[in-house]
Amino acid sequence: MKNKTLCFFLCLISTVEAYTQSNNLSSSPYSLYGLGLKNELSTGASNALGKTGIAHKSNEFINNLNPASLSSIPSNRFLFDVGVNFQKETLQENSNEEPRFNANFSNMAFAFPITKKSGFGITLIPFTNVGYDILGLETEIEGSNDIFTSTIFGSGGLNEIKASYGYALTDKLSLGLNASNLFGKIDENETDIFENTILNITEENFYNGFRIGGGFQYSVKDNITVGGIINLPTYLKGDQTKTTSLLYYEPIITEEDIDSFKLPLELGVGFQTIINKKLLLNLDLKRNFWDSTNQEDNIGTYVDQSIIGFGAEYTHNKNGHKYWQRIRFRSGFNFDNGNLAINDNRVNNTAFTIGLGLPFKKSSSSMINIGYTYGQKGQITNGLIQENYHQISVNLSLEGIWFLKRYLD
């Protein structure tokens, strides 16, 4: 038992180290703005259910969307979830197309009950992703007709370590709290070429901050649950290390504080119903209040964001003797009108999802959750870029009885 526990925490430490070094899950030009693209991937079945689950309880897998769900973890159970993500994108601008591919770990989480009415969990997940390149950008030198050419690469992103706690006040009502540490580094490397002169500028931008959130779940009936979440606004402190080097000269290194980045108030509500113990339906609505942050990027403006998601799961018989009867068949839809407006044009995202939950054995809720997403971000018109992407997420969701075994030992 001690060896299992030691191996688990060594794995956790190794994963944290890997995340802090790199989490490039994006190759989108829209990750140029702000802190990059917000990661919408989560744990368990959520990715194949239209990214929904605010009202979903954590009785079978870890629900990272609502801390109140942790109150429903079965006694003497230990839940663990690790995921990977693969994404292929095609960028379209006018008649030009460019394919891109990336892959990486997408999450690691564990959760367990503290008492019969409460549960605790920790999740490590990318918060934002940055990955862009701008090639052959020509700029006129101010005060002359001369032109220099720039190549710009961006990478990195922020990670989130979140501790969550859920408590069942009554048989129907559960409340939850979470506290997150957001941290990471965004790198930008720019090379400017003019005639025989080469100027290289490297910026390492470090961000760090904390955020508090909460949630609730209320069982209207045995088969109907409603939920709500809130994430409070916060500031992320920024520091920059800048290295400027000119060919044949020693590089100049400077360190300075940069403007803090404000995250907005986020609210969400969810609804779930289960029909005939076979069909599960989710509906989530979210609103992120970016207008109140009063922030602008060099080109775009941050605007209030609305997200709607719908998910459906069908299981013929969770306790069926035949394997196919226990397979979870999932599908969903998600529409995000975007938090960024470029020249008054929103960068929205529409996605359709399907997936499977493949159980390990009849007596356990452990399973492999596979999700496929086809989505479209942005538009070809109005000088924007359209992204068509295919995304595959694979989550290994495990259920153990570690605490019971430890007691018997």
pLDDT at 23: 52
| Domains in the chain: boundaries | 2-408
Predicted confidence at residue 409, as pLDDT, reads 40
What percent of the chain stands above pLDDT 90? 58
Q: What does pTM read for this prediction?
A: 0.87
CA 126 – CA 128 distance, rounded (Å):
6
Reduced to 3 states (helix: H, G, I; strand: E, B; else coil), residue 140 is strand
Q: What is the pLDDT along the chain (409 residues), one digit of tens a residue?
A: 445 444 554 455 455 545 444 455 567 888 888 898 898 888 889 999 999 999 999 888 899 999 999 999 988 889 999 999 999 988 887 777 788 888 888 899 999 999 999 999 999 999 999 988 887 777 777 777 778 788 889 999 999 999 999 999 999 999 999 999 999 999 999 888 887 788 899 999 999 999 999 999 999 999 999 999 999 999 999 999 999 998 778 889 999 999 999 999 999 999 999 999 999 999 999 999 999 998 877 778 899 999 999 999 999 998 888 999 999 999 999 999 999 888 888 889 999 999 999 998 877 789 999 999 999 998 877 767 889 999 999 999 998 765 444 443 4
Whole-angstrom distance, CA of residue 306 vs CA of residue 406:
46
> Residues 218, 227: contact at Cβ < 8 Å?
yes
Question: Residues for the chain: how many in total?
Answer: 409
pLDDT score of 336: 96
Whose structure tokens read 């994108």? Answer: 89
Dihedral-angle region of residue 403 (phi above 0 means left; psi in -120 to 50 means alpha; beta otherwise): alpha
Distance, CA of 79 to CA of 69 (rounded, Å): 13
> What's the pLDDT at 168?
96
Distance CA(122)–CA(317), nearest Å, equals 31
12's enclosing H/E stretch is helix 2-21
pLDDT computed for residue 324 by the predictor: 93
Which CATH topology does 2-408 take? Porin (2.40.160)
